[in-house]
Structure 1
Amino acid sequence: MKKVAIVFRRAPHGSPHGREALDLALLSASFEQEVSLIFVDDGVLNLIKDQQPERVGAKDYISTFGALPLYDVDTVLACEESLLEYDLEPTELTIEVEKVSPSMITEQLTQVDEVLVF
């Protein structure tokens, strides 16, 4: 089974990157690839619940993160430094993530066959 890591580095709604990354994750998982999601830098902003993207003319794809368990996407990591930078608490996030250090993210990236950065 191919292992794929999808890295979210950009803030949501300013570009199509976050939505495309999530679509790719679900599509890859549906073809029985082992998918892990990693949120770093501004990418942790994709995790904030109760966003209102329609107010800036964007579609709400954030709610689709709730479908990850249906696709057996179990590895969801968020950089603890990035969460701290934005002062984000677990209760403010739309899905449960594992807070990890940058070195643990590096370790995860060495264990996959392909890394895609959005």
Structure 2
Amino acid sequence: MSRIVCVLNSDRLSVMREFLDFVLGISAFNEDVVVIFAENSLGLIKNIDKLSPEGVGERNFVKTFGMLELYDISQIYAESNHVGGESTLLEETISSIHEIRTLSTSECMELIRETDHVFTF
């Protein structure tokens, strides 16, 4: 089975919704799916509990994050170049997403280089 990495690097709600739909769909066909939330998307991710997609005409997809665990997507990373306390704070803020871990930009790039397929949003 090939590894697929899905990278979200957008701060737009509509792109995040499409990204989550894609990730859940692709996971039905592949067991090794990796999710990376890159720098531009971290503002949305850190405030995930405060998002109200309905306010801008989107369906409420925030609860979809809980589906990642149900679909056995356990490799979830947030790109962060911050070290020490700020990295820990990022992990605590977005811990509701399911054991999200932080990786440096170089670690994310290494993960992508070792991957068979990469999809970016």
TM-score, length basis structure 1: 0.83
What amino acid is aligned across from residue 69 of structure 1 in structure 2?
A: E
Equivalence for 1:89: 90
In structure 1, runs of 5+ residues without a counterpart are: none
Equivalence for 1:73: 73
Q: Which has the higher helix share?
A: 2
What amino acid is aligned across from residue 5 of structure 1 in structure 2?
A: V
CA distance in 1, matches of 2:35, 2:111: 10
What amino acid is aligned across from residue 67 of structure 2 in structure 1?
A: A
What amino acid is aligned across from residue 79 of structure 1 in structure 2?
A: E
Where does structure 1 differ by over 6 angstroms across 4 or more consecutive aligned residues?
none
SS of the aligned residue for 1:36 comes to strand
Q: 1:46 to 1:6 in 2, by over 3 A?
A: farther
1:114 aligns with 2:113: no
Instruction: Give the drift of 1:52.
Output: 1.1
Q: In angstroms, what is the RMSD of aligned CA positions?
A: 2.2
Equivalence for 1:24: 22
CA distance in 2, matches of 1:61, 1:18: 9
Spell out the pairing of 1:9-48 with structure 2 (5 A cutoff). 9-13=9-13, 16-47=14-45, 48=47
Which of 93, 98, 106 in structure 1 is aligned with 2:101? Answer: 98
TM-score, length basis structure 2: 0.81
Instruction: Give the drift of 1:6.
Output: 0.5
In structure 2, runs of 5+ residues without a counterpart are: none
Paired residues of 2:91 and 2:101 also in contact (CA < 8 A): no
| Count of residues paired in the alignment | 114
Q: For residues 43-62 of structure 1, give each alpha carbon's deviation from its aligned partner in whole angstroms, at most 9, with x where no partner exists.
A: 12342322112122222212
Fraction of identical pairs, as percent = 29
